[in-house]
């Protein structure tokens, strides 16, 4: 794929991520994706022959990789698992607040809306969450309860993002940060 094709594909994926994260899967139409991205309609089906599900699935995976890269970067500078979790919550809180409370978790929006009825999108969401759990497990080190703690921390982070978005307040993120710090000792 040439540079122009890659740029078009990237614009479609980035636009889809932003729209789906803010408006949900059902609230985002392909015509809107094409209009906002500025991509030709034919490019949409060229790059994503499986249509909307293909586009959204790739967008979820790409968003998951971006957040995963952020997690890796934060892990490098964190002196402890508790500080890592706190820095993740600060980072995601900054992202959420900076977007006007529109950009919570790029995966949760899709998972909540489609996981029960759409196998390809459920699989994409599951892949991303599994990769994030693995990143958390690595940061937790040799703890016997690392698997359980990784899932617990991810669930707390996701819940805090949802509540922060609903309340348009960082308070749920701050409370969860304190509880994760206490949990990790």
- State pLDDT tens for residues 86-125: 999 999 999 999 999 998 888 999 999 999 999 999 999 9
Number of separate domains in the chain = 1
Q: What is the domain range of residue 158?
A: 3-184
Residue 139 backbone phi and psi in degrees, to 5 = -65, -30
pLDDT attached to residue 6: 86
Q: Locate tokens 């308070």: which residue? A: 171
Q: How far apart are CA 59 and CA 9, in angstroms?
A: 10
Q: How far apart are CA 45 and CA 55, in angstroms?
A: 9
pLDDT attached to residue 3: 76
- Cα–Cα distances (Å) from 83 to 27, 57, 89, in that order, read 37, 32, 10
- pLDDT tens column, 23-80: 999 999 999 999 999 998 899 999 999 999 999 999 999 999 999 999 889 988 888 8
Give me the CATH number covering residue 175.
1.10.357.10
Q: Which H helix or E strand runs over 173?
A: helix 171-184
pLDDT attached to residue 1: 60
Q: Supply 164's token pair.
A: 């922060």
pLDDT attached to residue 55: 96
Put simply, whether the predicted model's pTM sits higher than 0.75 gets the answer yes
Helix (H, G, I), strand (E, B) or coil at 176: helix
Q: Locate tokens 């892990």: which residue? A: 75
pLDDT attached to residue 158: 96
pLDDT attached to residue 141: 87
Q: Supply 83's token pair.
A: 């500080």
pLDDT attached to residue 106: 85
- DSSP 8-state assignment for residue 170: S
pLDDT attached to residue 46: 94
Q: Supply 5's token pair.
A: 């094709």
DSSP code per residue over 127-148: HHHHHHHHHHHHHHTT-TTHHH
Angle between helices 81-98 and 171-184 (to 10 degrees): 170
Q: Is the model more confident about 118 or about 185?
A: 118
Q: Contact 183/152 with Cβ under 8 angstroms? A: yes
């Amino acid at each position: 794929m040439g540079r122009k094709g890659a740029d078009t594909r990237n614009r479609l994926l980035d636009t889809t991520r932003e729209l789906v994260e803010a408006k949900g899967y059902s609230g985002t139409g392909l015509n809107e994706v094409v209009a906002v991205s500025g991509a030709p309609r034919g490019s949409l089906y060229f790059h994503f022959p499986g249509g909307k599900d293909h586009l959204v699935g790739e967008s979820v995976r790409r968003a998951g990789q971006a957040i995963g890269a952020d997690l890796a970067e934060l892990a490098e500078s964190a002196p402890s698992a508790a500080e890592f979790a706190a820095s993740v919550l600060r980072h995601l809180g900054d992202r959420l607040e900076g977007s006007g409370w529109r950009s919570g978790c790029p995966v949760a929006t899709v998972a909540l809306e489609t996981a029960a009825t759409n196998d390809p999108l459920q699989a994409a969401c599951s892949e991303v969450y599994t990769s994030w759990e693995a990143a958390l497990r690595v940061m937790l080190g040799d703890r016997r309860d690392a698997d359980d703690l990784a899932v617990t921390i991810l669930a707390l982070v996701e819940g805090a993002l949802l509540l922060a978005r609903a309340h348009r307040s960082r308070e749920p993120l701050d409370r969860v940060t304190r509880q994760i710090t206490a949990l990790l000792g």
